[in-house]
Structure 1
Amino acid sequence: MAKEVTSITINYRDIIRVLRIITLVLLLLTAGIVSFVLVYYGIFSLGGYIGCLLLLILLTYLVLPVIFCFCPHLHQSMVFQPHVDAAGIDFEKPQDLRGVRNFKISDGTIGVWHILPSSLSDKSENQEASFWQDAVRAKGHNGVIVYFHGVTGTRGKWHRKELYKVLQDKEHHIISCDYRGFGDSTKVKRITESGVVDDALAVYQFVRQELLGGDTRIPVFIWGHSLGAGISSHAVAKLSDLITLPCPNGLVLESPFDNFGEELRNHAKLKIWRLLPFFDRLFVNPLRKSDIAFQNDHHISKISVPIMIMHAKDDNVVPSHLGKRLFEAGRYRPNDFNPLYFVHMKAGKHNEMYKLNAEFGKIITLFTDACMHACIPITNLNLNRNSCWHHDCSVDAEIVCSHC
């Protein structure tokens, strides 16, 4: 197994951020010690000390958001967390995953996996790169899924590998990448929404033009999970304005939010501040100035391809009502756009809907089959309002369609 070498670089912004936090802690500690001394020597009453302590708590409650507001590096650190659960990943030969080819695109800046369907994975040992390309251009599989992961770790995180296995069993080729700043992709000083969306578009362009050689008869689906759903919806909205690349045949948004401002208001670590009348000024607006907005409810209005939103009722990271809000925003798309589906799974939390293997897999198959119902491009598809696939879908999940 190849050993990863981690290089450590000193960032002066990191140092300044740590110094600011240390300064705040020292100020609060000093104030506490002074208050204790004043009470101990009778200079300050116990009631006054309690009042002082409450004042310190109030100041802390107000000061921390102000620090966040004026510290741009904190914005990136809170949203993008590439180092969480990232250690020990062997990108060349990932553990518990077969049929994987590891390579880089965009002049070596973006790390990518091409994962074969289950029927081919055992045949890939010691094969050249041409084996993967020939396999994806041949008949006998159910299309390519381009997967964009969420906020933490790499494309090799455990729950992502488990999802790949389910998709492999459904005879899909999977293309999964790490954005710049994540995994084995090029390190960058600053990760932004524009940057990760550009990386997603570069991967999609590679799939369409190089991997498939421009053959639009092979269906391609984009799948985004959590923050990756925000990246995916932004990227596909951009594709809708391009004439050089065809849009994907379908879009799957797993555990998405409607926009990042609402996700912040519902985030466990920020709930104590969401009642502040200036919450947006302290948290949402600074992130937007740092090019971190992820306005999925805006982007979805531009996407004409079939879309399936999947959300588990017990998601404790991105509450499912945010996925429902995104679906409601998508209802206002033009009438000639393809259907939008909301699948409310009974369980699965934030990362584990794949564990409902039979139901989960059946829904994926029915959706992708519906996307391939007509000739390519899929935007020519006009499904009858009473014949959508979900009417005959006997699974334990609530499914709503925008066209029904």
Structure 2
Amino acid sequence: MELALAFVTGLQRSCNLIDVATSHRVSFIKVMSDSDFHVLAVDYRGYADSTGQPSETGFTTDILYLYHWVKARSRNSTVIFWGHSLGTGISTNVARVLKEKEGVIVDAIVLEAPYTSIRDAAATIPVTKIYRQFPGFEYLILDTMERADMRFCNDRNVQVLSSPILILHSEDDGMIPISHGKKLYEIARNASQKKETVQFIAFPASKGFGHDYLSSKAPNCRPYWKDFLQSIK
């Protein structure tokens, strides 16, 4: 069996937390397990039962530590970063740190419902549409995230990565428009010396996968990403 690191997180913090125990995340883990992968899923600092305060630097540090912990115990197994939504930026952050500071090329990266950057996502996601018309939106919302160390620049990261990359996105994603996934694919493919290692799969809106259920409730689509993972062995 291979070993896949599944970096999954919720997008809100409240008494009713979205975390790795959320139904669609449990379904995803079962899908991966049924496909002969071990899965390590985590709640980031400040989420669910994890202590601490959320920050891009903190998230990256935690997952980098976790990667080394896994590699020390998995010998020569393939380790895959699977990031969903917010987790896509953390996955590419860690992969970039490993390459630039340690000379390590992550075996493969799967980006499910990714964004180009958090700033771009906040400026285009449907939930902010009503606020974009008001003066000060950029300063109060977009610039504030930058000052709070929340950038998650997938678009910059993929330009320097050498790992095989698979991008999955659904046309009816109501959280992060599929245009982000398409643009990220073009950036990654144009920067790659081996363009065939960068792949993009779009799923029609008629499937109803939305933002959360692409990998967990799409049994007919499973062969697409499984073939990609098998190809990196």
TM-score normalised by structure 1 residue count: 0.53
Q: Which runs of 4+ in 1 moved over 3 A?
A: 275-279
Question: What is the CA–CA distance in structure 2 between the aligned matches of 1:231 and 1:192, rounded to whole Å?
Answer: 10
Letter in 2 for 1:162: S
Out of 87, 95, 105, the position equivalent to 1:236 is 95
Counterpart for residue 81 of structure 2 = 222
Superposition deviation, residue 277 in structure 1: 6.5
- Is the contact between residue 305 and residue 338 of structure 1 (CA under 8 Å) also seen in structure 2? no
Question: What is the CA–CA distance in structure 2 between the aligned matches of 1:205 and 1:254, rounded to whole Å?
Answer: 23
Counterpart for residue 368 of structure 1 = 229
Counterpart for residue 176 of structure 2 = 318
**1:328-353: per-residue Cα shift (whole Å, max 9, x none)?**
22133142576211110123111111
- Is the contact between residue 123 and residue 142 of structure 2 (CA under 8 Å) also seen in structure 1? no
Counterpart for residue 210 of structure 2 = 349
SS at match of 2:101: coil
Letter in 2 for 1:177: V
- Give the number of the structure with larger relative contact order, counting CA–CA contacts within 8 Å between residues 6 or more apart: 2
Counterpart for residue 358 of structure 1 = 220
Is 2:47 the partner of 1:182?
yes
Superposition deviation, residue 282 in structure 1: 2.4
Superposition deviation, residue 274 in structure 1: 2.0
Question: What is the CA–CA distance in structure 1 between the aligned matches of 2:105 and 2:20, rounded to whole Å?
Answer: 23
Give the RMSD, CA atoms, in angstroms: 1.7
Superposition deviation, residue 235 in structure 1: 1.0
Question: Across the two proteins, how many residue pairs are aligned to each other?
Answer: 223
Superposition deviation, residue 278 in structure 1: 4.9
**1:285-314: per-residue Cα shift (whole Å, max 9, x none)?**
111111011111011111101000000111
Counterpart for residue 264 of structure 1 = 122
Aligned residues with identical type, % of pairs: 27
**1:218-248: per-residue Cα shift (whole Å, max 9, x none)?**
111110000011111111111111337x332
Structure 2: stretches of 5+ with no match in the other structure:
13-17
- Is the contact between residue 177 and residue 203 of structure 1 (CA under 8 Å) also seen in structure 2? no
User: Where in structure 2 are the equivalents of 1:285-304 lying within 5 Å?
Assistant: 285-304=143-162
**1:355-377: per-residue Cα shift (whole Å, max 9, x none)?**
12132x201220011111xxxxx
Counterpart for residue 335 of structure 1 = 193
User: Where in structure 2 are the equivalents of 1:3-402 lying within 5 Å?
Assistant: 141=1, 143-150=2-9, 151-152=11-12, 153-185=18-50, 187-188=51-52, 190-209=53-72, 211-212=73-74, 215-216=75-76, 218-243=77-102, 246-276=104-134, 278-336=136-194, 339-346=197-204, 347=207, 348-353=209-214, 354-359=216-221, 361-372=222-233
Letter in 1 for 2:217: K
- Is the contact between residue 254 and residue 310 of structure 1 (CA under 8 Å) also seen in structure 2? yes
Summarize the Cα distance change of 1:335–1:304 in structure 2 as closer, same or farther, 3 Å threshold: same
Question: What is the CA–CA distance in structure 2 between the aligned matches of 1:335 and 1:171, rounded to whole Å?
Answer: 30
- Is the contact between residue 192 and residue 198 of structure 2 (CA under 8 Å) also seen in structure 1? no
- Is the contact between residue 223 and residue 252 of structure 1 (CA under 8 Å) also seen in structure 2? yes
SS at match of 2:230: helix
Superposition deviation, residue 322 in structure 1: 1.1
Summarize the Cα distance change of 1:259–1:207 in structure 2 as closer, same or farther, 3 Å threshold: same
- Is the contact between residue 304 and residue 337 of structure 1 (CA under 8 Å) also seen in structure 2? no
Superposition deviation, residue 269 in structure 1: 2.9
Question: What is the CA–CA distance in structure 2 between the aligned matches of 1:199 and 1:178, rounded to whole Å?
Answer: 10
SS at match of 2:199: strand
TM-score normalised by structure 2 residue count: 0.89
Letter in 2 for 1:228: G
- Is the contact between residue 189 and residue 195 of structure 2 (CA under 8 Å) also seen in structure 1? no
Letter in 2 for 1:364: W
Question: What is the CA–CA distance in structure 2 between the aligned matches of 1:205 and 1:338, rounded to whole Å?
Answer: 28
- Is the contact between residue 119 and residue 145 of structure 2 (CA under 8 Å) also seen in structure 1? no
